[in-house]
Chain A
Amino acid sequence: MKFLENIVNKMEPKFSKGGKLEKWHPMFESFMTLVFTPKYTTKLGSHIRDGVDLKRTMIMVIFAMVPALLFGIYNTGHWEMVAAEGNLNLPYGEMFWDKVIAGAAVVVPLIIVSYGVGLGIEFIFAMRRGHSLHEGFLVSGMLIPLIMPADVPLWMVGVATAFAVIIGKEIFGGTGMNILNVALTARAFLFFAYPTSMSGDKVWMSGLTENLDKVNAEKLAHTAEVAAGKAEKLGENEFASPLADSLDGFSGATPLGDLASFMTPDPVLNGSPLEVGSNLMDQFIAANPINDMFMGFSPGSIGETSTLAILIGAAILLITGVGSLRIMASFFAGGLLMGVILNASGGPYLDLPPLYHIVIGGFAFGAVFMATDPVTAAQTATGKIIYGLLGGMMAILIRVLNPAFPEGVMLAILFMNVMAPIIDHYVIAANIKKRLKRVKNA
Chain B
Amino acid sequence: MSKTVRLRKGLDIKLIGVANKVRTEAKVPKTVSIKPADFHGMTPKMLLKEGEQIKAGDIVFQDKYSETIKYASPVNGTLKAVVRGAKRKIVEVVISADETQNFDRGTPIDLASLSGEEVKNTMLASGLWPFVRQRPLDVVADPKNEPKAIFVSAFDSSPLAPDFDFVLHGKADEFQAGLDVISKLTTGTVHLTLNGKSPADATFKDAKGVQINTISGKHPAGNVGTQIHHIDPVNKGEFVWSINAQDVAIIGRYFLTGKYNAKRTIAITGSEIKDPQYIDTIIGANVADILDGQITTDNVRVISGNVLTGDKIEQDGHLGFYHNQITVIPEGDQLKFVLTKGWMGPGFDKFSNSRLFPTYLLGKKKFRLDTNTNGEERAFVVTGELDKVFPFDILPMQLVKAAITNDIDGMENLGIYEVVPEDFALCEYVCTSKIDIQDKIRQGLDVIAEECM
Chain A positions within 8 Å of B, measured between CB atoms, are 1, 4-5, 8-9, 33-57, 59-60, 132, 134-136, 173-177, 319-322, 324, 374-375, 377, 379-381, 384, 428, 431-432, 434-435, 438-439, 442
Given A41-B371, A52-B352, A379-B383, 15 more A-B residue pairs with CB atoms under 8 Å apart are: A4-B337, A34-B338, A35-B338, A45-B425, A45-B437, A46-B425, A47-B310, A49-B372, A49-B375, A49-B434, A52-B356, A175-B379, A324-B384, A431-B414, A432-B413
Q: Which of B235, B337, B387 contacts A439 (CB 8 A)?
A: B235
- In the bound complex, do residue B236 and residue A439 qualify as a contact, i.e. CB atoms below 8 Å apart? yes
Known A36-B342, A41-B331, A176-B380; contact A60-B421, beta-carbon cutoff 8 A? no
Query: Distance in Å from the Cβ of B202 to the closest Cβ of chain A?
Result: 34
Q: Majority SS of interface residues in chain A?
A: loop
Query: Distance in Å from the Cβ of A420 to the closest Cβ of chain B?
Result: 10
Q: A380 — nearest CB in chain B belongs to which residue? A: B395
- In the bound complex, do residue B395 and residue A322 qualify as a contact, i.e. CB atoms below 8 Å apart? no
- A50 to B235 alpha-carbon distance, docked (Å): 32
Partner-contacting stretch, out of B46-54, B220-228, B300-308: B300-308
- In the bound complex, do residue B235 and residue A438 qualify as a contact, i.e. CB atoms below 8 Å apart? yes
How would residues 391 to 433 of chain B score, 1 for a CB under 8 Å from any chain A CB and 0 otherwise? 0011101100000000000000111000001000100111111
- In the bound complex, do residue A381 and residue B384 qualify as a contact, i.e. CB atoms below 8 Å apart? yes
> Is B350's CB within 8 Å of the partner chain A?
yes
> Is B20's CB within 8 Å of the partner chain A?
no
Known A47-B312, A321-B354; contact A57-B376, beta-carbon cutoff 8 A? no
- A326 to B383 alpha-carbon distance, docked (Å): 12
- A381 to B344 alpha-carbon distance, docked (Å): 29
How would residues 187 to 216 of chain B score, 1 for a CB under 8 Å from any chain A CB and 0 otherwise? 000000000000000000000000000000
- A48 to B414 alpha-carbon distance, docked (Å): 27
- In the bound complex, do residue B428 and residue A45 qualify as a contact, i.e. CB atoms below 8 Å apart? yes
- A18 to B415 alpha-carbon distance, docked (Å): 45
- In the bound complex, do residue A39 and residue B372 qualify as a contact, i.e. CB atoms below 8 Å apart? yes
- A55 to B433 alpha-carbon distance, docked (Å): 10
Known A8-B335, A428-B395; contact A56-B370, beta-carbon cutoff 8 A? no
- A197 to B148 alpha-carbon distance, docked (Å): 69
Query: Distance in Å from the Cβ of B352 to the closest Cβ of chain A?
Result: 4
Q: A51 — nearest CB in chain B belongs to which residue? A: B350
- In the bound complex, do residue A5 and residue B335 qualify as a contact, i.e. CB atoms below 8 Å apart? yes
> Is B38's CB within 8 Å of the partner chain A?
no
- In the bound complex, do residue A377 and residue B383 qualify as a contact, i.e. CB atoms below 8 Å apart? yes
Query: Distance in Å from the Cβ of B345 to the closest Cβ of chain A?
Result: 8
- A55 to B343 alpha-carbon distance, docked (Å): 7
Q: Which of A45, A54, A439 contacts B436 (CB 8 A)?
A: A45
- In the bound complex, do residue B379 and residue A174 qualify as a contact, i.e. CB atoms below 8 Å apart? yes
Query: Distance in Å from the Cβ of A377 to the closest Cβ of chain B?
Result: 7
Q: Which of A37, A41, A48, A52 contacts B354 (CB 8 A)?
A: A52
Contacts of A177 in B (CB 8 A): 379
- In the bound complex, do residue B357 and residue A52 qualify as a contact, i.e. CB atoms below 8 Å apart? yes
